[in-house]
Structure formats: C-alpha cells, structure tokens
C-alpha cells in the first residue's frame, strides 16, 4: 500500500476511534504533504513523504528538548507522543551493521578517498537510508571512515 494511502487510512481510523491526539498529528502531516505539493506543483512520492515525516520528527525532537530545557515537561511529553505517532509511517530502522555495510559499499562505488568526497557518498546513501537512519549520524560515520 502506498504511504499516502496508509496515512489516509490511519486518519480515518483515528477519527473512528475518536483519538484526538493522533488525529491532530496525522492531519498536521497531511497538511505538510499538501503544502509541499502545492509549493512544488507535483504529487509527492513515498520517498518525498518519508522526507516530510523525517523532517517533522526532527522538528518535534528539537521542540521537546527546548521545552525540557525551559522547564515545560508537559509540552515536551506532548511533542514526544507526536514523534511516536509519526514514527509509525517510517520503515524499520537500519542496524549499525547495515549502515556501516552500506557506507562501505557507497565509498567503494564512488571511489571516495577522503573527506572532500563525503558529499558524493552521502548523495548515494540518502535515497536508501531516508527515514531509516539519522542522516547526521550517518554523515559522522562517513566522515570517520574517510578520515585517515
């Protein structure tokens, strides 16, 4: 089932269950998808939607941390519940071994020899790891492997 259909089905199920928190979060996700479609004048693919979900999760993590730092654990908890709802739409995360294997394969495929070739490796890795790994951590790992 395409990701967009899965999201719409979850939206309907949240309505039926009268789960207001889940309903609000999924509606926010649908609004973000539609906004991007309007901005770019094209329908979003599953990969595009995964990117949107990933971005929303990162925003929620940042907000939760700021709320905790600001002494508002109630708002931080709300953000973390939204993260849990959004993570349902992401594919299963990659294990560290799978990430390292993919990085080594990408380095071999691109012929990367040093940190200056990091962009080539990350460009190759991004489509296959989108939503399955934290790209900031992947970038750190690539840098570590490319630095002599």
Does 96-146 carry CATH code 1.10.10.410? Answer: yes
Domain ranges for the chain = 3-87, 96-146
Backbone torsion region of residue 18, taken as left when φ is above 0, otherwise alpha when ψ lies between -120 and 50, otherwise beta: left
Residue 85's CB is within 10 A of a number of other CB atoms, namely 21
Taking only the tens place, the pLDDT of each residue in 94-108 is 888 999 999 999 988
Q: Mind listing the pLDDT tens digit for each residue in 48-84?
A: 898 899 899 999 999 999 999 999 999 999 999 999 9
What is the pLDDT confidence band of residue 1, given thresholds at 50, 70 and 90?
A: confident
pTM: 0.76
| pLDDT, mean over the chain | 91
Q: Which CATH superfamily is domain 3-87 in?
A: Uncharacterised protein YqeY/AIM41, N-terminal domain (1.10.1510.10)
Cα dist from 144 to 56, 96, 139, whole Å: 28, 14, 9
Per-residue pLDDT tens digits for 6-57 = 999 999 999 999 999 999 999 999 999 999 999 999 999 888 898 899 899 9
């Amino acid at each position: 089932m395409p990701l967009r259909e899965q999201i719409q089905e979850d939206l309907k199920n949240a309505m039926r269950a009268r789960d207001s928190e889940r309903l609000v979060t999924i509606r926010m996700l649908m609004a973000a998808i539609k906004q991007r479609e309007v901005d770019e004048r094209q329908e979003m693919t599953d990969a595009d939607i995964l990117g949107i979900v990933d971005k929303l999760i990162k925003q929620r993590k940042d907000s939760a941390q700021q709320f905790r730092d600001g002494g508002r654990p109630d708002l931080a908890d709300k953000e973390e519940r939204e993260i849990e709802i959004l993570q349902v739409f992401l594919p299963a995360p990659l294990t560290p071994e799978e990430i390292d294997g993919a990085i080594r394969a990408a380095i071999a495929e691109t012929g990367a020899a040093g940190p200056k070739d990091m962009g080539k490796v990350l460009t190759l890795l991004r489509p296959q790891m989108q939503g399955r790994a934290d790209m900031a951590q992947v970038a750190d790992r690539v840098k570590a492997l490319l630095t002599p």
